[in-house]
């Protein structure tokens, strides 16, 4: 059951945010996320969808690929997931926040039994004030490794868990207008109603948006919108990006579903 008093937020943090666009996981960024979740916890409950397993592993190991790049990435994800969760746990615990790990794949969203299990587990975690941290189960699936960086997984999770809001952290101040990109003075689109309007706006936009680029953001927004969920695309590289968006004091894009 959703909390009667708290809004449920699914927060998607991609590898580019977690590494602050470097080659290693940024403890500072994870600390920044923990601090914000702590600051907002009276009114919001968070489900975090986090990539970064492969990036974490690359700090420690170098596996030969011999042309089997995707398998190597899966192996790196398996090695790095523990390091990633350790870094989350160390930083969240400092602030008294409890975390748990859930590894999911797209196929889990096709089976009614799996879906029921996901919902029941995550609801119990949230009721007990644990913050579920979800990543793709990269041993059994490669969808998000190949394309997407967990954008779609986050939207599917938001729909299944009846979230009130999906926040996708990326490396730009939301979506920029086509005209402003052409003139190289990016200007954020504040609000669009319906994902169809977003498609029109970004059809040939050229800003960079993580490994999935803009396409996986649009796919994610479509899934969330169809489930009646609002999506915010925010700049995860900025300090305090969640709190600033909640207070509406930063530039970000809101995509409202048509039926709200
Ligand atoms: N599940 C992968 C990871 O956590 C996603 C890889 C990515 O696209 O960054 O590393």
Q: Give the distance, in angstroms, between the CA of residue 190 and the centroid of all CA atoms in the same chain.
A: 20
Burial label for 1, CB within 10 Å (0-12, 13-18, 19+), is exposed
Write the pLDDT tens digit of every residue in 5-43: 999 999 999 999 999 999 899 999 999 999 999 999 999
Write the pLDDT tens digit of every residue in 127-142: 999 999 999 999 999 8
Ligand 1 pocket check for 19: Cβ under 6 Å: no
Smallest CA-to-CA distance from 100 within 159, 20, 46 is with: 46
Residues ≥6 apart with Cβ < 8 Å to 9: 44, 45, 46, 47, 163, 164, 165, 166, 167
Distance of CA 24 from the midpoint of ligand 1 (Å): 13
Q: Which of 16, 23, 55, 78 most suits a substitution to test ligand 1, by most atoms within 8 Å of the C-beta?
A: 55
Q: What is the pLDDT of residue 184?
A: 81
> Would the pLDDT of 237 be above 70?
yes
Mean per-residue pLDDT, 238-250: 97
CA distance 143 to 203: 23
CA distance 151 to 221: 9
CA distance 220 to 48: 15
Mean per-residue pLDDT, 41-63: 96
Q: Which of 77, 87, 134, 148 most suits a substitution to test ligand 1, by most atoms within 8 Å of the C-beta?
A: 77
CA distance 61 to 245: 37
What's the whole-model pTM score? 0.94
In the chain, the N- to C-terminal Cα span, in Å, equals: 21
Which pair of tokens denotes residue 125? 């975690």
CA distance 93 to 71: 33
What domains sit in the chain, N to C, each tagged with a CATH number?
7-256 (3.40.1160.10)
């Amino acid at each position: 059951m959703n909390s009667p008093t708290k809004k449920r937020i699914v927060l998607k943090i991609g590898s580019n945010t977690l590494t602050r666009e470097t080659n290693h996981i940024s403890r500072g960024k994870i600390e920044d996320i923990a601090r914000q979740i702590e600051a907002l916890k009276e009114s919001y409950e968070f489900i975090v969808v986090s990539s970064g397993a492969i990036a974490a592993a690359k700090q420690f190991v170098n596996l030969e690929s011999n042309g089997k790049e995707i398998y190597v990435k899966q192996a790196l994800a398996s090695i790095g997931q523990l390091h990633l969760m350790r870094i989350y746990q160390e930083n969240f615990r400092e602030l008294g926040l409890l975390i748990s790990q859930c590894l999911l794949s797209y196929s889990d969203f096709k089976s009614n039994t799996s879906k029921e299990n996901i919902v029941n587990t995550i609801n119990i975690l949230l009721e007990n004030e644990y913050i579920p941290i979800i990543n793709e189960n990269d041993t059994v699936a490669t969808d998000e490794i190949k394309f997407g960086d967990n954008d779609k997984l986050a939207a599917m999770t938001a729909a299944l868990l009846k979230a009130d809001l999906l926040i996708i952290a990326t490396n730009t101040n939301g979506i920029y207008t086509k005209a402003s990109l052409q003139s190289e003075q990016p200007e954020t689109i504040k609000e669009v109603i319906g994902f169809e309007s977003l498609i029109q706006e970004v059809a040939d936009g050229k800003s960079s948006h993580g490994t999935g680029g803009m396409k996986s953001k649009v796919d994610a927004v479509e899934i969330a919108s169809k489930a009646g969920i609002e999506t915010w695309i925010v700049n995860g590289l900025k300090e305090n990006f969640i709190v600033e968006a909640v207070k509406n004091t930063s530039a970000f894009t809101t995509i409202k579903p048509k039926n709200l």
